Amino acid sequence: MKFTFTALTALLTLLPSLALAKNTEGSLSKSQIKSIVTFGDSYTDTFWITNGGVQWPTYVARYAGITNYPYARSGATCSNNLTYRPFPPLFESQIPTFLGDKKNGTINVDPNSTLYTLWLGTNDIGMSSLLTGDNDASIVDVAGCLVNWVQVMYDNGARNFLFQNIVPLEKTPVYSSGSWPNRYWHLERNTTAWSVSMRELVLGGNALTKLMLQDLAPKLQGAHIGRFMHTLHAKNNGCSYSDFHHTGIFDSHSLFTDMYAHPADYLNGTAALNVTGSIDSCIYQTGDSDESVCTMVNGTDRDSYLWYDELHPSEQADRHVAREIANVILGKGSRWVSWLS
Ligand SMILES: *[C@@H]1O[C@H](CO)[C@@H](O)[C@H](O)[C@H]1NC(C)=O
Ligand SMILES: *[C@@H]1O[C@H](CO)[C@@H](O)[C@H](O)[C@H]1NC(C)=O
Ligand SMILES: *[C@@H]1O[C@H](CO)[C@@H](O)[C@H](O)[C@H]1NC(C)=O
Ligand SMILES: *[C@@H]1O[C@H](CO)[C@@H](O)[C@H](O)[C@H]1NC(C)=O
Ligand SMILES: *[C@@H]1O[C@H](CO)[C@@H](O)[C@H](O)[C@H]1NC(C)=O
Ligand SMILES: *[C@@H]1O[C@H](CO)[C@@H](O)[C@H](O)[C@H]1NC(C)=O
Ligand SMILES: *[C@@H]1O[C@H](CO)[C@@H](O)[C@H](O)[C@H]1NC(C)=O
């Protein structure tokens, strides 16, 4: 009886501090992560640059002093079975390429010290896909596919995950109600209807992936009760951390919403701050010619913009994404990341 009572008291005393630790600290420990393996679309692609400068994974590698293994490819969707596009999708191309590289020794990734990231969904839900009804898929299929990445990567040995949700796409120039005919879409459309639908797809998709991840994370082998027990165990026995995993959501949606609402906190260029236009902007001329009239913002003026073109974040926006993720890797945590396990 005495033992039980003492143990219980100890447990009750411990609980608040553990709960606090979970909220205020990054879940990854300092110096744990040595490499980041990135999956996704053009927002993350480091081969086909879409911000006119340096993409965020390269900045993360610089800021945190780690290696980036890049698998994200422009135009990608989660699966071409669901939302077909003639670009390398996550499931049929990016994951198989990664597994091939791992198998033949092109890359060497230790589970404990590797962080896997996924930032995808923009093409799946956008024009020529869900938004315009070009396939039979729904937001439920797409969300399920995205979250399945955690399971499949886990089954292949990955243990640390950062799931980057979708930005407020209805605020990008191409999907905003004030949009114009541009390089991504110049056919007739109702820009208000696009913006309204896009907002629903983004919010619905992000809510679904969050719920699905909350459901999945505790079910991954060794993860349930894992965090609490292993934390105590590891402290007492100096045991390795490699037998439990970390799944975090990087709330890109809130970060970009904040950048949009408070640009002065993030944008630092030499032009007037601009969250509605873009650095590289093309206005398609309707009429006889098929020509676009394009303007390009140059030099230090660029860092005043949230968007690089009608669809992509600017380099300065990407620097903030990178800084936050680097802070997580450096053990400083980030207000935009919540850990599920
Ligand atoms: C995993 O990383 C933690 C934190 O850096 C370290 O304490 C532990 O020894 C590592 N385990 C292995 C198996 O490398
Ligand atoms: C896509 O379809 C192929 C053929 O039916 C199947 O083998 C594969 O598992 C499917 N991929 C996904 C991600 O559902
Ligand atoms: C390793 O596998 C990848 C993916 O299948 C392939 O692209 C690459 O050429 C292979 N490298 C070597 C050295 O065999
Ligand atoms: C465009 O869509 C909005 C929102 O659905 C609707 O209120 C409006 O009437 C539409 N405009 C036209 C010209 O169809
Ligand atoms: C934002 O930038 C675009 C493209 O450079 C420009 O057309 C627009 O006038 C700017 N908006 C503001 C509010 O400065
Ligand atoms: C930016 O640079 C491009 C290419 O050098 C040039 O064509 C364009 O006129 C420049 N834009 C401005 C606003 O000076
Ligand atoms: C804006 O801030 C970033 C760091 O976030 C810095 O790298 C960049 O040089 C700054 N831009 C300007 C124009 O000062």
Ligand nearest to the CA of 302: 7
| pLDDT level of residue 287 (50, 70, 90 thresholds) | low
Is 274 within a domain? Answer: no
**Domain region containing 119:** 5-255+316-339
Lowest mean pLDDT of 68-82, 94-108, 239-253, 287-301, name the range.
239-253
pLDDT at 3 over 70: no
Whole-number Å distance, alpha carbon 111 to ligand 1 midpoint, is 10
Mean pLDDT of 202-224: 86
CATH of the domain at 150: 3.40.50.1110
Ligand nearest to the CA of 173: 5
Write the pLDDT tens digit of every residue in 59-90: 999 999 999 999 999 999 999 999 999 999 99
Is 302 within a domain? Answer: no
pLDDT at 161 over 80: yes
Give residue 31's pLDDT: 84
The single residue listed with the structure tokens 């896909």 is: 129
**Is any atom of ligand 4 closer than 6 Å to the C-beta of 198?**
no
Give residue 119's pLDDT: 98
Nearest CA to ligand 4 atom 3: 193
Ligand nearest to the CA of 198: 4
Q: How far apart are CA 166 and CA 168, in angstroms?
A: 7
Is 280 within a domain? Answer: no
Cα dihedral sign, 223-228-231-236: negative
pLDDT at 196 over 50: yes
Domain count, the chain: 1
Is 307 within a domain? Answer: no
CB-count burial class (<10 Å; 0-12, 13-18, 19+) for 258: middle
Nearest CA to ligand 4 atom 4: 193
Give residue 145's pLDDT: 98
Is 11 within a domain? Answer: yes
Ligand nearest to the CA of 234: 1
Give residue 291's pLDDT: 78
Is 269 within a domain? Answer: no
**Is any atom of ligand 7 closer than 6 Å to the C-beta of 62?**
no
Q: Which residues contact 161 (CB under 8 A, 6 or more apart)?
A: 115, 116, 117, 118, 150, 153, 154, 245, 246, 247, 248
Give residue 218's pLDDT: 85
**Is any atom of ligand 7 closer than 6 Å to the C-beta of 221?**
no
Nearest CA to ligand 5 atom 9: 277
Q: What percent of the chain clears pLDDT 90, i.e. is strictly above it?
A: 79
R_g of the chain, CA atoms, integer Å: 22
**Is any atom of ligand 4 closer than 6 Å to the C-beta of 196?**
yes
Q: Which residues pair with 337 in a beta bridge?
A: 250
| pLDDT level of residue 6 (50, 70, 90 thresholds) | very low
Is 288 within a domain? Answer: no
Is 261 within a domain? Answer: no
**Is any atom of ligand 1 closer than 6 Å to the C-beta of 239?**
no
Which ligand 1 atom is nearest residue 112's CA? Answer: 1
pLDDT at 44 over 80: yes
Count of CB atoms within 10 A of residue 13's CB? 9
Q: How far is CA 280 from CA 122, 222, 276, 283, 307, in A?
A: 19, 48, 12, 10, 9
pLDDT at 332 over 70: yes
**Is any atom of ligand 6 closer than 6 Å to the C-beta of 299?**
no
56's enclosing H/E stretch is helix 56-64
Q: How far apart are CA 96 and CA 49, in angstroms?
A: 22
Q: How far apart are CA 107 and CA 69, in angstroms?
A: 8
pTM of the model as a whole = 0.88
